[in-house]
Chains A and B, each alone.
Chain A
Amino acid sequence: MAVTILVPTALRSFTERKSEITVEGATAGEAIKALAEAYPDLKVHLYQEDSGEPGELRSFINVFVEETNIKNLQGLDTPVAAGGTIMLVPAIAGGV
């Protein structure tokens, strides 16, 4: 089923400047994997380097399905309805 992924500004240089990408996937994880396969340069920014594929997402990449963080749902197994929306939302951290 087709779902739409909203891409944050920082990652649009890897998606031909597109802010919305439609992919196939029944869960958040499937949809994000399809996105990464369509735009391979995204992988290094989405997935932890040592996690293999499909792998774990980097800790600062948060995924919202219909405005709810998947951490509060079923993680990457969270189902997405046909026509649904997934948002990739960075969390920002740093320091000395």
Chain B
Amino acid sequence: MISLGPGERAALGREGERAYPNECCGVLLGGIDDSGGKAVESLLPINNKGAPEEQYHRFAITSEDYLAAEKEARRQNRDILGFYHSHPDHPAVPSAFDKDNALPFYSYVIVSVENGKAGVIRSWELTADRGEFKEEEILWR
């Protein structure tokens, strides 16, 4: 399970709408409790480094961005819990491309943006055998 606050919900929608018709992306920072539950405490927006002509359906966070995010997480005394991105005019369901590029443990939060308006937000985790994405319950704080 992953919990998100009203500030994160608003920021996810705002980011998705700002990037529309392209995809936005960023890092989820927060803490992990003893039972493995994740609590997102802040979002770290990242400039989509996908090829400009592909950003309407692709996002990329480089390893250099990841290292910078890890430093920021340490500065905030938080962990990288996962990543978010938007699906412009597409449901908040991971694609085959999402799955091929994912790692287990991390939460992959997707916000659907229909006609420029943010809508459904869902979260997904890759199974340890890389077999499939499973939906992760979001607890809205």
Contact = CB atoms under 8 A, between A and B. Distances in A.
A45 B23 contact: no
B67 A89 contact: yes
B98 A95 contact: yes
Contact of A60 (B67, B101, B130): B101
B15 interface: no
A41 B95 CA distance: 24
Contacts of A41: 128
Nearest to B80: A9
Given A44-B129, A96-B57, A91 B106 contact: no
Contacts of A78: none
Main DSSP-derived SS at the A contact region: mixed
A91 B80 contact: no
Which bucket holds chain A's interface residue count?
20 to 34
Nearest to B85: A94
Interface residues of B, number: 35
Nearest to B101: A93
B44 interface: no
A11 B58 contact: no
Interface of B: 23, 25, 50, 54, 57-64, 66-67, 79-80, 83, 85, 87-88, 90, 94-95, 97-98, 101-106, 108, 128-130
Given A9-B106, A96-B95, 10 more contacts: A9-B80, A45-B103, A45-B104, A60-B101, A64-B63, A89-B63, A91-B60, A93-B97, A94-B59, A95-B23
16 contacts: A9-B79, A9-B105, A13-B104, A69-B63, A69-B64, A90-B66, A91-B60, A92-B25, A92-B83, A94-B58, A94-B83, A94-B95, A95-B50, A95-B87, A96-B57, A96-B87
State the 6 A-B residue pairs at the shortest beta-carbon distance, nearest first. A62-B63, A95-B58, A94-B98, A92-B61, A10-B103, A89-B63
Interface of A: 8-14, 41, 44-45, 59-60, 62, 64, 69, 87, 89-96
